[in-house]
Amino acid sequence: MSAQLPSRDEEILGRPAVDDLEAILTTANTDVDEVIHAVRDNADVIFTWDYEKGARPALDKLYEKAKGSQWNGQTDLDWSIDVDQQQFAEMMADMQQMEFEARGVDFTGTPFEKWTRTEWVELAHEVQNWSLSQFMHGEQGALLCTAKIVETVPWIDAKYYAATQVMDEARHVEVFAQYLDTKLDGHYPINTHLKLLLDDIIDDSRWDMTYLGMQIMVEGLALAAFGMALQTTPDPLLKRLLRYVMSDEARHVAFGVLSLQEFYAGLTDAELLERQEFAFEAAVRMRDRFLQQEVWERMGIDVRKALKLFDVPAEVKNEDPFQQLLFSKIVPNCKKLGLLDANDGWLRKRFDVLGVTQFEDWVDTGEEYLEMDAVAQDRAAEGAA
């Protein structure tokens, strides 16, 4: 358990301590049947009369790259491929069992005592449905946030680039929705912590906060999460879908890094502290989301007991290497932006509590998009064949 944190964390997070499990669990999505969710956008819409294209060369380069790397979710993916979700769930459930055996987990006296392979396979099904559903909802968040950036950012090169990202995100929502609808056997409403975060990002009046919340934090995490999903899925359709989405996402994170680097260089310490607090809040919301509380509810298992089984201590300290790895893109990017160490390392200390600071010197995402362009690589290979 971490040392007592200053009360400021309570103001940021709306709960007494970062690891307060009961407070985390009292946040629930109370209207799971809603079709429309309205959030007030408090930002000014900015015209610019400075039309000089390429005034920011790195953004201009990104824009030109994006125009050439567009793909079509209907024709570039083979939707005729049959997906065997049952086989995947069995594989995941068996891997889980091997891990439990290796750790010598004893189910006696737990809700899992009477579980057979059937329930474990069902759980793996639900986890996949939940994960893909959250990917889809997060993509819609990116679509709306980036449309907001088109309106609010004052630079023409950034408006141009953001317009290509809006198209990318529409395609991402489209392909994840289609995959869920036609290849999987169920879906979930948005996770309550993800929703809180997306609402906060949309609500903020400052244009750079949209970038920080979406391009740096949400998309930084998505890039790592998609990479892990790509490693585990045996499905060739989902593999190609994820490779293509990731090649777009790498550009999106680069867009955030390249834009904020310039803007943050001119901020005061007090202004930087507000950005550090926002990055911390976003990191905590995203970590809370991975408790997957909706899955446990659907399986009829008390989430507290489930967490015990998965060896997560009551204070939910992040000691899971898989969950830590989700922050492997975020931390180096925050460092590159100067957020980690500003104000005597305010954010570094928070990231220490979350157990993710070890990624600070991993590659940042300013240029990585050039290597990750799977669309260009496939086209070159098809052209050569």
Nearest to Fe ion of 169, 288 (CB atom): 169
Q: CB neighbours of 256 closer than 8 A, spacing ≥ 6?
A: 211, 212, 214, 215, 216, 219, 220, 333
Q: Does 251 bind Fe ion (CB under 5 A)?
A: no
The 8-class DSSP code of residue 367 comes to: S
CA distances from 208 to 176, 265, 274, 327, 341 (A): 28, 13, 11, 21, 19
Q: Does 219 bind Fe ion (CB under 5 A)?
A: yes
Nearest to Fe ion of 181, 185 (CB atom): 181
Contacting range for Fe ion; rule: CB under 5 A; set: 13-21, 245-253, 303-311, 373-381 = 245-253
Structure tokens that stand for 266 in this block: 């001119």
Angle at 357 between CA 356 and CA 358, to 5 degrees: 90
Contacting range for Fe ion; rule: CB under 5 A; set: 16-24, 141-149, 277-285, 332-340 = 141-149
Nearest to Fe ion of 145, 342 (CB atom): 145
Q: Are 178 and 77 in contact (CB under 8 A)?
A: no
Work out whether the CA dihedral 333, 337, 342, 346 comes out positive or negative. Answer: negative
Q: Does 126 bind Fe ion (CB under 5 A)?
A: no
Contacting range for Fe ion; rule: CB under 5 A; set: 46-54, 169-177, 230-238, 336-344 = 169-177
Beta strand extents in the chain (DSSP E only): none
Give the residue from 83, 173, 72 showing the smallest Cα distance to 378: 72
Count of beta carbons in the 10 Å neighbourhood of residue 35: 5
Q: CB neighbours of 102 closer than 8 A, spacing ≥ 6?
A: none
Tell me how far, at minimum, the Cβ of 75 lies from Fe ion, in Å: 19
Q: Does 252 bind Fe ion (CB under 5 A)?
A: yes
Q: Are 202 and 148 in contact (CB under 8 A)?
A: yes
User: How many binding residues for Fe ion (CB under 5 A)?
Assistant: 7
Nearest to Fe ion of 252, 348 (CB atom): 252
Q: Are 184 and 279 in contact (CB under 8 A)?
A: no
Among 148, 172, 193, 287, binds Fe ion (CB under 5 A): 172
Tell me how far, at minimum, the Cβ of 176 lies from Fe ion, in Å: 9
Give the residue from 214, 206, 221 showing the smallest Cα distance to 274: 206
Nearest to Fe ion of 241, 334 (CB atom): 241
Q: Are 172 and 139 in contact (CB under 8 A)?
A: yes
Tell me how far, at minimum, the Cβ of 61 lies from Fe ion, in Å: 18
Tell me how far, at minimum, the Cβ of 253 lies from Fe ion, in Å: 8
Count of beta carbons in the 10 Å neighbourhood of residue 320: 15
Contacting range for Fe ion; rule: CB under 5 A; set: 3-11, 31-39, 133-141, 372-380 = 133-141
Tell me how far, at minimum, the Cβ of 169 lies from Fe ion, in Å: 5
Q: Does 148 bind Fe ion (CB under 5 A)?
A: no
Tell me how far, at minimum, the Cβ of 330 lies from Fe ion, in Å: 14
As a whole number of angstroms, the distance between CA 59 and CA 65 comes to 10
Nearest to Fe ion of 243, 252 (CB atom): 252
Q: Does 142 bind Fe ion (CB under 5 A)?
A: yes
Tell me how far, at minimum, the Cβ of 219 lies from Fe ion, in Å: 5
Contacting range for Fe ion; rule: CB under 5 A; set: 12-20, 75-83, 162-170, 311-319 = 162-170
Residues 281-340 that bind Fe ion (CB under 5 A): none
As a whole number of angstroms, the distance between CA 26 and CA 99 comes to 30
Instruction: Give me the residues that bind Fe ion (CB under 5 A), please.
Output: 139, 142, 169, 172, 219, 249, 252
